[in-house]
Amino acid sequence: MVEPVLGMAPRPAPTRGPVEWLKGGAPVPYPEAVATMEARVAAIALGQAAECIWLLEHPPIYTRGTSADSAELLAPERFPVFRSGRGGRFTYHGPGQRVAYAMLDLSRRGRDVHAFVTSLEDWLIATLYRLGVAGERHPGQTGIFVQSAKIASIGVRVRRWVSLHGVSLNVDPDLEHFSGIMPCGLADMKVTSLAALGAETDMDEVDRGLRAAFDEVFGEEAVSANSSRSP
């Protein structure tokens, strides 16, 4: 759990205030993370909280996006499975994977969901570049790839023009855990990680890369909070 989990008032948000960055400690249970995220998004929509990037990890789980087919879940008894309101198909989350929940006001960004997803892709590609890895898009597929293997996933939902969910980057997870699903709905889809590529796996370094790349892509002023905080 994030320590403390709840009970911290969100930072008040001016009209165009800085994006607040928070980082969790131990893996956060998925239902708890979703409830916390939804509360923060509601506050952002009401102008009562600043936009937020929440960096965390989850225990081993599978999540089902709105486009997923049941046949794509190959090992339904292996880990807990959660329905998710985000777009996309089945995804694995677990220790060694950096999840970045992006709670951002799209009213400030043109109310263009497609352009927002493209910006998230740009963010991941720029992060990987800083870590010495060449990430790329694959036409017709959401996420970022290194050659033929997927290294990062994107799944978002928008409520009152504020985004929920976000991106996940494989730093050093157990890649065998992905065998319980069909990533991207494709049986032959390969997955990879920074560790498998021999790249940087220190999570603090990865987080610094994410922060610098976000500032570059979104051009945002940011403010940090102590680690082990939730939104």
Q: Is the pLDDT of residue 84 over 70?
A: yes
pLDDT in tens, 96-127: 999 999 999 999 888 999 999 999 999 999 99
Please tell me what DSSP assigns to residue 84: -
Q: Is the pLDDT of residue 10 over 60?
A: no
Provide mean pLDDT across the span 122-136: 97
Instruction: Write a three-state SS string for the chain.
Output: CCCCCCCCCCCCCCCCCCEEEEECCCCCCHHHHHHHHHHHHHHHHCCCCCCEEEEECCCCEEEECCCCCHHHECCCCCCCEEECCCCCCEEEECCCEEEEEEECEHHHHCCCHHHHHHHHHHHHHHHHHHCCCCCEEECCEEEEEECCEEEEEEEEEEECCEEEEEEEEECCCCHHHHHHECHHHCCCCEECCCCCCCCCCCHHHHHHHHHHHHHHHHCCCEEEEEECCCC
Asked if the 19-227 domain carries CATH number 1.10.357.10, the reply is no
Q: Is the pLDDT of residue 223 over 80?
A: no
Q: Where are the domains of the chain?
A: 19-227
- Please give the Cα distance from 164 to 86 (Å, whole number): 8
Cβ distance 48 to 13 under 8 Å? yes
Looking at the annotation, which residues are catalytic? 184
Q: Is the pLDDT of residue 220 over 80?
A: no
In this structure, the number of other CB atoms found within 10 A of the CB of residue 180 comes to 18
**pLDDT score recorded for residue 164:** 95
**pLDDT score recorded for residue 221:** 58
Provide mean pLDDT across the span 179-191: 85
Q: Across all residues in the chain, what is the average pLDDT? A: 88
pLDDT in tens, 32-49: 999 999 999 999 999 999
Q: Is the pLDDT of residue 158 over 90?
A: yes
Sequence-distant (≥ 6) Cβ neighbours of residue 168 within 8 angstroms = 91, 93, 97, 98, 99, 100, 152, 153
Q: Is the pLDDT of residue 182 over 70?
A: yes
**Banded pLDDT at 68 (limits 50, 70, 90):** confident
User: What is the four-CA torsion angle of 127, 129, 133, 139, rounded to 10 degrees?
Assistant: 80
Q: Is the pLDDT of residue 12 over 60?
A: no
